[in-house]
Amino acid sequence: MDSSLTSPPHGTSASTTEIVPVRRPRRRRVGAGLVAAAFLLTGCQLPTFGEYKGSTTQARTEYHLWQGFFIAGLVVGVFVLMLITWAIVRYRRKSEEIPPQHQYHTLTEIIYTVVPILIVLVLFVFTVLAENKVTALESNPATSIHVYAFQWGWEFEYPNGVKVIGQTTNDPTMVVPTGETVRIRLDSYDVLHGFYVPEFNFSRYATPGYSTYFDLNVIHNGTYRGQCTQLCGLYHSLMFFNVKSVSPADYATWLRTELALAKAHPSSAPQLPSGVHAGGGTSSNSNAGGLPYGD
């Protein structure tokens, strides 16, 4: 045994009355360190780990799940690195002799089987809870927008009949009210497209013949870039759109103004490009909540 563990520090006697006072300052330092760490950790925010913080309430849920996964990965990674380092140092070659050979350590084997399974189960439960929140459909959404994807653009149709259409070099903008639930019904007129807004941490397939429903609750006013994420043909790379979130009052005003303009100038109403047949992609099939990759 290492004699330093049992021997008193150099220059002190072996009596316990002199050893105990030496340990107390160390405990105090550890205690103070823990308190300081607690204050520091609660005072600062966790890093984003490269993820968007999320501009919708649904996106925030995804963001927090991402943080949890990343931290779990870091803890496991650091622990494994420490084990590897320890094994490299502790069992490095010290002589030409073959070291004692062992096999089977039941307790270790049980631990390294059970612990990873527990980790996966915990991550699975948090994933299911987060997905249920993200795909939940509110019973009374404030507004609904019918989104159609086509080669190569987007059509946004509002409950009062207002339509916004844009393609390739003319990105359409979907206006939504901030802080309210917006129900999206997503369809495709032709082939498979992808509705993706990076800052919403969210993507869904627009599937021909299959309607996908989801809710968005944008937290702050702003304009968010969106794009098609499914290679859908020649000008897929130009299939962008914007989501502009404004106050509910501004949203109502915008809807009224657009409707009045459409009625005043019916001939200048936005048109789908020739070759895109409206109604070709919708059906009574529905995918409430939406599968992340269609089906």
Interacting residue ranges for Cu ion, rule: CB under 5 A: 193, 228, 232, 239
Residue 157's φ and ψ, nearest 5 degrees, are -115, 125
Closest Cα to residue 145, out of 184, 112, 115, 173?
A: 184
Minimum distance from CB of 239 to Cu ion (Å)?
A: 5
Handedness of CA 52, 56, 58, 60 (dihedral sign): positive
Minimum distance from CB of 151 to Cu ion (Å)?
A: 7
Return the number of the residue (60 or 193) whose C-beta is nearest Cu ion.
193
Return the number of the residue (181 or 230) whose C-beta is nearest Cu ion.
230
Q: Are strands 240-246 and 173-177 parallel, antiparallel or unpaired?
A: parallel
What 8-state DSSP symbol labels residue 218?
B
Return the number of the residue (184 or 239) whose C-beta is nearest Cu ion.
239
Minimum distance from CB of 233 to Cu ion (Å)?
A: 7
What 8-state DSSP symbol labels residue 53?
-
User: How far apart are alpha carbons 35 and 32 in whole angstroms?
Assistant: 5
Return the number of the residue (164 or 228) whose C-beta is nearest Cu ion.
228
Minimum distance from CB of 174 to Cu ion (Å)?
A: 15
Minimum distance from CB of 250 to Cu ion (Å)?
A: 30
Helix (H) or strand (E) holding 75: helix 57-90
Minimum distance from CB of 227 to Cu ion (Å)?
A: 9
User: How far apart are alpha carbons 195 and 147 in whole angstroms?
Assistant: 9
Return the number of the residue (149 or 182) whose C-beta is nearest Cu ion.
149
Return the number of the residue (29 or 225) whose C-beta is nearest Cu ion.
225
Going from the C-alpha of 218 to that of each of 33, 51, 130, 222, the distances in angstroms are 41, 17, 17, 9
